[in-house]
Amino acid sequence: MSNPPGEGLKPLVLVVDDYQDAREMYAEYLEFSGFRVAEAKNGAEALDKAFELLPDVILMDLSLPVIDGWEATRRLKSDERTKTIPVVALTGHALTGQPGGAQDAGCDSFVIKPCLPDALVEEVKRMLAGRKTLPAR
């Protein structure tokens, strides 16, 4: 089955969160805002889907079962296939005491949960705009 016209042009966002309600809320709002969405419920699933789908942006909860978001991000950023994909850390913590923690793990930015859906969409758009300005290699 082929995609509807223009479907392939929509950026793909991988939403990684172990809390189903949060995943569904983010996914629904992102789809409403014109994105395609894939979901993962733990770090291992996030890695599998990221390598398979090569999304345009990854929203990564840092507190995940199986493999936490910190380690999943480090693995994504150390792999040639996924190292340039922007990762936005989703965290319920203000990263106090770890000001560079998210960046050290390879996250390109972070959003404190709970966040307004508009703020999340704006951050995704900001990451996509930044990615497009990178020189092609």
The answer to whether residue 4 scores a pLDDT higher than 80 is no
The pLDDT tens digits for 28-53 are 999 999 999 999 999 999 999 999 99
* Mean pLDDT on 105-114: 85
The residue length of the chain stands at: 137
The total of other beta-carbon atoms located within 10 Å of residue 124's CB is 25
Confidence grade of residue 133 (pLDDT, cut at 50, 70, 90) = very low
- The residue type of 88 is V
Give how far Cα 102 sits from Cα of 53, 64, 105, 136, Å: 23, 15, 5, 25
Higher-pLDDT residue of 50 and 103 is 50
131 versus 119: which is more confidently predicted? 119
d(CA 109, CA 111): 7
> Percent of the chain, pLDDT > 70?
81
- Per-residue tokens: 57: 């942006």
The average pLDDT across 95-116 equals 71
Is the pLDDT at 104 greater than 80? The verdict is no
Instruction: Identify the structural domains of the chain with CATH numbers, from first to last.
Output: 12-130 (3.40.50.2300)
This prediction's pTM? 0.85
pLDDT at 69 exceeding the cut of 80: yes
Q: DSSP for the chain?
A: -PPPTTGGGSPEEEEE-S-HHHHHHHHHHHHHTT-EEEEESSHHHHHHHHHHH--SEEEEESS-SSS-HHHHHHHHHTSTTTTTS-EEEEESS--TT-TTHHHHHT-SEEEESS--HHHHHHHHHHHHHHHHTSPP-
Task: State how far the Cα of 20 lies from the Cα of 76, in Å rounded to an integer.
Answer: 23
- Confidence band for 97, pLDDT divided at 50, 70 and 90: very low
Q: Which residue has the higher pLDDT, 21 or 115?
A: 21
